[in-house]
Structure formats: C-alpha cells, structure tokens
Structure 1
Amino acid sequence: MKSPILSHMKIAAASLIGLIALGTLSGQARADAIPAACMSVSAASRTMGSASLAMTGYGATLSGNSAHLTVGQVSVQDRQGHLTLPNLRDANALISFGLLKLVHDGSPAGCRGVDGRPALKNLREALHKGAVAELVWHQVGLSERDSRYAADQITATLRAGQARGSIDIVFATNGLTSPGGSALPGSVRTTLTIPEQMLDDTKSPTGRITISSLEGIWAKGRLDGNGWVAPGHTAGSSSGELHLTITDLNDLLAVIRPVLPTGVSTALSVAQFMGHRDGNKVTWDLTLSSGILKVNSIPIPVN
C-alpha cells in the first residue's frame, strides 16, 4: 500500500532524479543537452547572457508525447560567472527531464542508450571552481495522462558539496496543487548531498545520498525529516534510514482524508500508534536493510 508520505518524498526527490539523469543522458544535441528524440523543447522568448538564461512560455515534452512540462517564466544563472550559457541550458533541460521522468515513472524508448557523462563532467568542473547554478521556475504545470500537477514556483540550486567529491542540491516548490485535490503538501523543501562516484557509475552506484533536511507543509500539519539512502537496483540491495516527524497529525488527516486513496487513511491512522508521541508531534524511524523495512524497529511488509 502506498503512503502519501512516500508520495511526498517522491515529489521532493525530483531534483535528485534530475541530477542523476546527468549521468545517463546525452550531451550530443546542443538543444539543451538532450537528443530531440528523447525530449522536445520550445520557448516563446529567450534572453541569453554570458552566465544567465531567461525564457517565457517554456515547454518540454517526452518522446511519444507521454509527459508534458510548461513553465511561464524561467530564470537560470550563475552569480559567480563560472557556468557558461551551454552549461545553464544543460542544467535547465536536465532538471526538466528529471521531472518528466518522475511523472512518467521511467524513460521512454527514445531516451534509452545515450550517455551524458561529458555534459556532467563540464558542469561538475564548473561547480568545483565555485559556480552555483540557480534555477527558478514560475507558473509550472506537469502532466502525464490523468496525472496533473501545478506549482506557483520551483527552485533548484546546485553547488559543490562541503563533503569532498560531492554535489549539494537544494530543491523547493511552493503552491503545489493537483486538480480535484491531493494529499500533497503545498510546499516542499529538501537538501541533498550526492557523492560524485554515484554519478560516474550509474549502473553500479556506490555511496550514500544524504538527506540533511526534508520539509513538507500543508494548510494544517507539517512533515520534517532527515536521513540517508544507499540506492541499489532492488530493495534487497538498497539500504537507508529516514527519521520523520509530523506535527499536528490529527489536523493533517482531517484535511487530506477526503482526497486519500481507499485504505490509505486507515493505514495512516494505524501508523499513529507505531510512532513516538511528544505533545503534538509523532515521530517514526524508518530503516531499510536486506530488503526489510522497519518502522520504529517493527518489520513492515512492503512490495
């Protein structure tokens, strides 16, 4: 059974998928580093500087017309001036692809079998020279068949990590909505640190992705978390720890219960009793090891 908490983490991790996509996409086409057979892009207007890019009416579509992204206004820049215009175009397109791949739940046929490590290498070298890539999108729409999402603003900041050989990402979205209502928080913010060795070898990734903060805020209720994950190809080869706290859980359930899938509301209500209570806060410690997920040391059956 899927949990809304996992769905929130999935949306918040879009920036992570976008960055990991840097290691698996091609830099052949100068049109935003991704071959047109994989993703087509367009814009009503473009304003280009030596270390800045602004667009209006930006759109991106996965091959097969499977997933769509629209952005009213795009701003990408490096205030330090180390990133070139092609670097900024690459960063914008790769994060676009990350979100499209997220809502599509995979890569279409036109995106398979390409190699983007040269584009990744150029971007990473600039980050280690002091570049800070700052991306801001306004009036965002993301859709795949019946799944439709909108956000007032999405921001992503990429910089060299404080830990040697790593990349830091700060990702945030505000005004997140879905037609007909959803259990998603109105705003999400997460800070991730990714070892570069994971980007160099995406087929057999090694190392831990650190989640130094994860925040989700609803009209009533708040989620805070932190932890780490060492991703593998299966649950059995993956491991991780995540510490979650929800403030005002009862108020949150009252808000999201009308739009929750059948059974999830009951599961969350039961989950309250597995958490540690401290006033108006409920805390869970999740661990994944050898294919076994534990919540506060209690094994939980998962698919």
Structure 2
Amino acid sequence: MNSPIVMPMKYATASILTLLALGALPHPARADAVPAACMSADSASRTMGSASLTMTGYAAQLTGAETKVHVQQVTVRDRQGHLTLPNLRDANSLVSLGLLKLVHNASPASCRGVDERPALRTLRESLHQGAVAEMIWNKVALSDGSTHYSAEQITVTMRASQTSGGIDIVVSSSGLSAPGGSALPGSVNTTLTIPEQMLENTSTPSGRITISSLQALWAKGRLDGSGWVTPGRNAATSTGALHIAITDLNDLLATIRPVVPTGVTTALSVAQFMGHRNGNQVLWDLTLDGGILKVNSIPIPVN
C-alpha cells in the first residue's frame, strides 16, 4: 500500500540514505570518493570559492543503469570554512550516489567497493569543530528508466548535534512532482539525528535515529510526524515508531484521488477510522517490530 500513511517512512529512509552517503567525505589527499566505474558525473561549469563550490548543468548517472539525475545549479558550502573544496565536491557526489541508489532500489555491483569508513573521522572532526555542510540543488530532474521525478529545490544541511555523539541532518524539498500527476506532497521537510556509531559501519548500522520533525504539505492537507527508528538489515530486524497527524484528510483524499489507484484512497478512507480524531486532524501511532507494521496497535498487511 503506497499511501501517505507509509510515505513518511519512505521520506525518512531517503533522508537516512542521504546521510549515510554524506558520511563518506574523503580526506583531501584521497582520490574521488565515487569511482567512475560506479557513477559518472559532469557539469557544464564550476565556480570555486574559499569554502564553496557552485556548479551549473550538473549530471550524474549510475554506471550500467538508466538511473540519472540532472541539476540546473548546485551550491555546496561550509559557512564556517572547515571543509575543503575536495570535501565539498565529494559530498555532492555522494549525495547524488545515495539518491540514485534509492531511486534505483539497488546498489550496482560496481558500487559495492566504495569504502566510506576511512573518511568518517575527518567528517566528524570537522562537524565538531563547527563545520555546517550545506548542499542546495535547484531545478532537479531525476529518472530511472521511464519513471521521472522533479523538484524545484532540495537542501541538505549537516551539523554536530547538541546531543552528545550525534549528527543532525536537515532535509527540505519543494516543488516535488512527477509527470502525469502523483500523490507526492509539494514539499517535505524533516530533521533527523543520527548516532555517530552508525556511521562507523554503514553496512551493518546500529543505533537509533531520532526523527524530531517531519512535515509534508499537499495543495490541500498536511502531514506532521515525529518518532524514531533503529534500522537493521531488513524490515524484520528493524524497529521503529512514528506518530502521525494528518490535517484535513478529506481534502487530501480529494486531492490525490485522481492520480493514485482506487485501492490507496479506499485504504486511507478505512484507515481514518483506526485513527484518533482531534478537531480536523486524524492521528495515528505506527510501530514496526519483528517485520510487523501496526497502526494504533492493529497489524497492517504492508510489504
């Protein structure tokens, strides 16, 4: 069931994967963080500052796949000046890689040798010294074969968390759309806190990710949420809880009904009776444990 009820989990996953990709910032003396055998990337022009990099006509594609991203303008910077230009360049490449792998729903064999661990100490040290890494993508086009998406802007910001041993990542996006219409919200914003030990071994993550805020806005209707997730190797070994409130659910259903399968809106219509009413809001508590997703303690047959 690909509905707004489970969409927050997907957006949280997208933010997590982006962070894991960002975790591989390389040492300045190291070669490109993403080898061409894994992902090809190019840009029409580059402008470099003391701690900033701007590119126009940026494009990246997974090698051996029809998964690609094109960005009209990319700005990567550290306002505090702790990250070097190679750091910023490779940070952008690795964000691209994380996003492409997410959309492709797989990691090509050629990418499995990309080693993130040697550079993690450099990233953490820079963040704890006050670095604030910010990536701004304007006019984004993303495709995987015949599937296409676009966004007016995507911004990712990383900084040391006020919580000891954590890294904050803030993701905001606007103008999300897909040809022919989709149930995507027009904008999504989320703030996550990732424990540093999770970046020590991204192939076997451990630790709890805190979702301090999640917001999705449609033309009519909005979703707000918060919670946590402890990721495992798959759904059966992952646990989590997400508290969701949808405002103006009937308006939201009317908005997405023309562009989603009938079963989705039917499921949402039924699901509202499982929620708790608070004025014009419907509230749900989602939990994942042992591979079983529950909504307000009721098991839901979602793959």
TM-score (norm 1): 0.95
Partner of 2:167 in structure 1? 167
User: Does the aligned pair in 1 maintain the 2:25–2:122 contact within 8 Å?
Assistant: no
Task: Give, in angstroms, the shift of residue 234 of structure 1.
Answer: 2.5
Q: d(CA) in 1 for partners of 2:67 and 2:215?
A: 27
Task: Give, in angstroms, the shift of residue 15 of structure 1.
Answer: 3.0
- State the Cα RMSD in Å: 1.8
Task: Give, in angstroms, the shift of residue 106 of structure 1.
Answer: 1.5
Percent pairwise identity: 68
User: Does the aligned pair in 2 maintain the 1:240–1:288 contact within 8 Å?
Assistant: yes
Partner of 2:61 in structure 1? 61
Relative to structure 1, the CA distance from residue 56 to residue 155 in structure 2 (aligned partners, 3 Å threshold; closer, same or farther) is: same
Task: Give, in angstroms, the shift of residue 196 of structure 1.
Answer: 1.0
Which stretch of the first structure deviates more once superposed, 136-145 or 290-299?
Answer: 290-299
The equivalences for 1:2-151 within 5 A come to 2-11=2-11, 13-22=13-22, 30-31=31-32, 33-151=33-151
Relative to structure 1, the CA distance from residue 272 to residue 41 in structure 2 (aligned partners, 3 Å threshold; closer, same or farther) is: same
Task: Give, in angstroms, the shift of residue 12 of structure 1.
Answer: 5.1
Relative to structure 1, the CA distance from residue 118 to residue 258 in structure 2 (aligned partners, 3 Å threshold; closer, same or farther) is: same
Deviations 1:274-301 (A, max 9, x none): 0001111000001112222211111222
SS in 1 for 2:183: coil
Deviations 1:224-250 (A, max 9, x none): 000000011132221111000000000
User: Does the aligned pair in 2 maintain the 1:47–1:54 contact within 8 Å?
Assistant: yes
Which stretch of the first structure deviates more once superposed, 200-209 or 188-197?
Answer: 200-209
TM-score (norm 2): 0.95
User: Does the aligned pair in 2 maintain the 1:87–1:122 contact within 8 Å?
Assistant: no
User: Does the aligned pair in 1 maintain the 2:24–2:91 contact within 8 Å?
Assistant: no
The equivalences for 1:187-202 within 5 A come to 187-202=187-202
Q: d(CA) in 1 for partners of 2:87 and 2:148?
A: 29
SS in 2 for 1:5: coil
Deviations 1:35-65 (A, max 9, x none): 1111111000001122110010001101113
Relative to structure 1, the CA distance from residue 221 to residue 273 in structure 2 (aligned partners, 3 Å threshold; closer, same or farther) is: same
Q: d(CA) in 2 for partners of 1:280 and 1:252?
A: 12
Partner of 2:216 in structure 1? 216
Q: d(CA) in 2 for partners of 1:132 and 1:198?
A: 20
Q: d(CA) in 1 for partners of 2:5 and 2:67?
A: 23
User: Which amino acid letter does the alignment assign opposite residue 181 of structure 2?
Assistant: G
- Is residue 2:240 matched to residue 1:240? yes
Which 4+ runs in 1 deviate beyond 6 A?
A: 24-29
User: Does the aligned pair in 2 maintain the 1:76–1:133 contact within 8 Å?
Assistant: yes
Task: Give, in angstroms, the shift of residue 26 of structure 1.
Answer: 8.1
Deviations 1:250-278 (A, max 9, x none): 00000101111241111111101000011
Task: Give, in angstroms, the shift of residue 23 of structure 1.
Answer: 5.4
User: Which amino acid letter does the alignment assign opposite residue 38 of structure 1?
Assistant: C
Q: d(CA) in 1 for partners of 2:243 and 2:99?
A: 25
User: Does the aligned pair in 1 maintain the 2:158–2:168 contact within 8 Å?
Assistant: yes
SS in 2 for 1:299: strand
Task: Give, in angstroms, the shift of residue 174 of structure 1.
Answer: 0.5
Q: d(CA) in 2 for partners of 1:44 and 1:180?
A: 30
Task: Give, in angstroms, the shift of residue 194 of structure 1.
Answer: 0.5
SS in 1 for 2:167: strand
For structure 2, the 5+ residue unaligned runs are none
Task: Give, in angstroms, the shift of residue 202 of structure 1.
Answer: 2.3
Task: Give, in angstroms, the shift of residue 164 of structure 1.
Answer: 1.2
Task: Give, in angstroms, the shift of residue 8 of structure 1.
Answer: 4.8
User: Does the aligned pair in 2 maintain the 1:34–1:93 contact within 8 Å?
Assistant: yes
Deviations 1:117-168 (A, max 9, x none): 1233222211111000011111001100121111111101000111111111
Paired positions, count = 302
Q: d(CA) in 2 for partners of 1:262 and 1:221?
A: 19
Task: Give, in angstroms, the shift of residue 113 of structure 1.
Answer: 2.6
Which stretch of the first structure deviates more once superposed, 264-273 or 7-16?
Answer: 7-16
User: Does the aligned pair in 1 maintain the 2:229–2:241 contact within 8 Å?
Assistant: yes
The equivalences for 1:273-288 within 5 A come to 273-288=273-288
For structure 1, the 5+ residue unaligned runs are none
User: Does the aligned pair in 2 maintain the 1:29–1:35 contact within 8 Å?
Assistant: no
User: Does the aligned pair in 1 maintain the 2:77–2:88 contact within 8 Å?
Assistant: yes
